[in-house]
Amino acid sequence: MSDDRTVFRTCPLCEATCGLQIEIEDGAVKRIRGDQDDVFSTGFICPKGSTLKQLYEDPDRLRKPVVRQGFDVDGAPVFVEVEWDEAFAVVADKLTAVRQAYGNDAVGIYLGNPNAHNLGWNTHARAFLKAIGARSVFSASTVDQMPRHVASGYLYGNGLRMPVPDMDRSDLLVLIGTNPYVSNGSICTAPGYPDRIEAVRARGGRVVVIDPMRTRTAEAADQHLRIRPGTDAVLLAAIVHHLIATDQISLGRIGTIVDGVDQLGAAVKPFTPDAAASVTGIDAETIRVLADEIAAAPTAAVHGRIGTTTVEFGTLTTWLIDVIAIVTGNLDEPGGAMFPCSAVERVRPNRTGRPYRVGRWHSRVNGNPEVQGELPVGDLPDEILEPGDGQLKMMFTVAGNPVLSCPDSHRMDEAFASLEAMISVDIYLNETTRHADVILPPGSPLEKDHFDIAFSNLSIRNVANFSPVVFETDQPAEDDIIARLSMIVTGMGDGDPDLVHDQLVSQILANEVRTEGSPIEGCDADRLAAMVTGERGAERVLDALLRTGPYGDAFGANPDGLSVEKLRDHPHGIDLGPLASRLPAALDTETARIDLWAGPFLDELARLEARATEWGADDRLRLIGRRHLRSNNSWMHNLDVLVKGQPRCTLQVNPADATGLGLVDGGRAAIRSRVGELTVDVEVTDVVMPGVVSLPHGWGHDRAGARMTVAAANAGVNSNVLTDPTALDPVSGTSVLNGIPVEVAPA
């Protein structure tokens, strides 16, 4: 019987969560386009969205587990396919051997960025992390957005409570270090981001972009301010300085719940616009005018992303962005910076929380503090390579390729190669997983259910959208794999993963019936557990979360509320409305108030003042990264449709610098940092400002033993060979990936 149908689902490839319309003909994907009826994206799609077809069909994508059985004569690993039970048995043996020889502290975990987009990981991660009990947890967050979590933790008492720009109602949108015309947005789920930017201007608002590069977003803005990489905190402190000096502080509604505003003036006193001009490269009058505009706009949203977080003062920069929202009355107000309310958020009465804490433990070798339960990924090679108690001997990696995406790649590669055991959950045999003993491949995105648990917390509109499996497969999804791994680490290796799924559902319901203010407070948890629906583990956990969430059906008490079944009946999603003001109820701080100085920000401002003086006298070239519409970090480089065309892994150099350095367009350059050196193709362009060079990350697919044929044919160079693992934002442990001092010369 032919399998012809049209299905709708959410694209899981980036934070934009676009709705897709997928036409199936004879059991194969014929075409993917934007879903015009999707309640949020209304037909928007980028070139990556349609490549779910190519990803599903990619012959390099692993369909069965593989186990490494030695190396060939060239030293490349040899993998053989095995059945799932055999693969899990090898995992159990490896784990037992390492634990017996070295103890549980010898086991670590690395989590890659795609986990955030994965339903099974989001529903089951906690069970696995708790079961394994590892303190050496590393993730892509410390080469990305960790400063946002830490700033939120100190300000709002919850590292996951992140304000997003309510751009659909903003009169002034200020974008710093972000290029949503090609990234499609981050820490801001807004499908059709470019259209939304244009809508701000169409209704008479203004868009300002602050970036060292004239990005596509900058070209579309009313104003583009070129800033020296890594100096955003100085600019933002100067804006706060000017607002105070000109008596333009107006907290509005939240004024009654914010402490510490009186100390701001003294704290930012050194950061006058004149002083900031020589550091940032933006003249003092322009800074003053921008501050005046933010203060005068009926509504204003300032949003910073990767260029503001992967720098030495990433957490301070993020804090300053929120401080500007607070002192101009734009926090928690329509058109300003607002807090989404996800369909799976827990319903709790307004209550005080606990102090936000970091540093509950520290990295063994470098002594860096834990944040959000993680250690800085820049510390990972030392934790593996340096001998001593607690040295890591075994790693689990889940959907990650840290050899390409984390600092000091050569040493990261050496570290993974030295492990006694390594288990990877990944769809590819890539530059990192080639070191694994076992690779456990989940199915493709079209072979699993999807719901954006993480990004509904970052969405500029509250929506809910469930995507059921498109194609059945024998490959388990992440929830089943993680359930099996959880059972292995707790000594129940042959158990049925349904035990873990059911336990997660029971825990959610048992917790909710005990919680004051929950929609099912006081109900019989066992009776409700029997009412949970879903064929798969993650779907059942999601059903329990949705039904007990703020829009849930509360198992019948609110008949019009959400459940997985209801979302299945709405394949284009359900719109839950615009963002609404949520403070003070959404605060989890100890005082139920916002204390501007709960974190180390006074010390950080003093440190910034000292560093700014050094920056003013430092004219070394600075390396920054860049995004491309057809690239998504390292893991989508194996799809020909996305990598074909002109090579994109080039070093962009401003014409003035090229002349001074003797570089020519199309020539080759040697670029050297404190830790590494690369030879790379040169692209001379005034897109980058003088004094700055740019190289994209995620490339360098040239390691023997990886099995990503298309990526290897378009290898590029790995920018993280240049990234210094000791350079980090000390508050969040996030590596400095933007503004790296480099020397460049003709190769």
**Positions that interact with ligand SF4 (CB under 6 A):** 11, 13-14, 16-18, 45-46, 48-49, 184, 191
**Residue linked to tokens 């090679």:** 381
Type and span of the H or E element at 641: helix 640-643
In 3D space, the residue among 729, 633, 747, 628 whose CA is nearest the CA of residue 680 turns out to be 747
Say which DSSP state 346 is in: P
Asked if 212 contacts 624 with a C-beta cutoff of 8 angstroms, the reply is yes
Q: How far is the CB of 17 from ligand SF4 (least distance, A)?
A: 6
Q: How far is the CB of 88 from ligand SF4 (least distance, A)?
A: 32
Closest CB to ligand SF4 among residues 165, 185: 185
**Cβ-count burial 125-147 (b if 16+ within 10 Å, e if not):** bebbbebbebbbbbbbbbbbbbb
Q: How far is the CB of 73 from ligand SF4 (least distance, A)?
A: 41
Q: How far is the CB of 32 from ligand SF4 (least distance, A)?
A: 9
Q: HSE, CB side, 13 Å, CA atoms: give it for residue 589.
A: 21
Q: How far is the CB of 50 from ligand SF4 (least distance, A)?
A: 8
Q: How far is the CB of 387 from ligand SF4 (least distance, A)?
A: 43
Q: How far is the CB of 655 from ligand SF4 (least distance, A)?
A: 32
Q: How far is the CB of 54 from ligand SF4 (least distance, A)?
A: 13
Q: How far is the CB of 72 from ligand SF4 (least distance, A)?
A: 37
The residue of the chain with the least Cβ separation from ligand SF4 equals 49
In 3D space, the residue among 155, 157, 162 whose CA is nearest the CA of residue 141 turns out to be 162
Per DSSP, the residues of 480-504 read: HHHHHHHHHHTT-TTS-HHHHHHHH
Closest CB to ligand SF4 among residues 140, 300: 140
Closest CB to ligand SF4 among residues 37, 565: 37
Closest CB to ligand SF4 among residues 45, 275: 45
Dist CA 639 CA 55 (whole Å): 7
Q: 687: which residues sit within 8 A by CB, 6+ positions away?
A: 213, 214, 215, 652, 694
Structure tokens at 160: 């996951």
Type and span of the H or E element at 70: strand 66-71
Q: Which stretches within 58-192 are classed as H helix?
A: 84-102, 119-132, 146-156, 180-183
Closest CB to ligand SF4 among residues 213, 642: 642
Q: How far is the CB of 186 from ligand SF4 (least distance, A)?
A: 10
In 3D space, the residue among 335, 346, 397 whose CA is nearest the CA of residue 164 turns out to be 335
Q: How far is the CB of 465 from ligand SF4 (least distance, A)?
A: 12
Q: How far is the CB of 20 from ligand SF4 (least distance, A)?
A: 7
Q: How far is the CB of 42 from ligand SF4 (least distance, A)?
A: 12
Dist CA 454 CA 115 (whole Å): 9
Closest CB to ligand SF4 among residues 46, 464: 46
Dist CA 158 CA 357 (whole Å): 10
Dist CA 740 CA 442 (whole Å): 36
In 3D space, the residue among 621, 646, 625, 641 whose CA is nearest the CA of residue 698 turns out to be 625
Dist CA 737 CA 144 (whole Å): 9
In 3D space, the residue among 624, 618, 110 whose CA is nearest the CA of residue 402 turns out to be 110
Closest CB to ligand SF4 among residues 90, 182: 182
Q: How far is the CB of 335 from ligand SF4 (least distance, A)?
A: 24
C-alpha to C-alpha distances, 252 to 248, 339, 525, 592, nearest whole angstrom: 12, 17, 43, 18
Closest CB to ligand SF4 among residues 46, 708: 46
Closest CB to ligand SF4 among residues 186, 315: 186
Q: How far is the CB of 307 from ligand SF4 (least distance, A)?
A: 19
Closest CB to ligand SF4 among residues 17, 714: 17
Type and span of the H or E element at 672: strand 668-672
Q: How far is the CB of 302 from ligand SF4 (least distance, A)?
A: 23
Q: 714: which residues sit within 8 A by CB, 6+ positions away?
A: 637, 643, 647, 701
Closest CB to ligand SF4 among residues 13, 688: 13
Closest CB to ligand SF4 among residues 10, 652: 10
Closest CB to ligand SF4 among residues 216, 607: 216
Q: Pairing state of beta strands 651-653 and 677-684?
A: parallel
Dist CA 407 CA 746 (whole Å): 24
Residue 139 has φ and ψ, to the nearest 5°, of -155, 175
* Coil/strand/helix, residue 716: coil
Amino acid at 267: A
Amino acid at 103: G
Computed from CA positions of residues 275, 280, 286, 292, in that sequence, does the dihedral angle turn out positive or negative?
A: negative
Q: How far is the CB of 646 from ligand SF4 (least distance, A)?
A: 21
Q: 73: which residues sit within 8 A by CB, 6+ positions away?
A: none
Closest CB to ligand SF4 among residues 8, 313: 8
Closest CB to ligand SF4 among residues 12, 400: 12
Q: 637: which residues sit within 8 A by CB, 6+ positions away?
A: 631, 643, 698, 699, 701, 708, 710, 711, 714
β-bridge partners, 138:
110
Closest CB to ligand SF4 among residues 14, 337: 14
Closest CB to ligand SF4 among residues 48, 124: 48
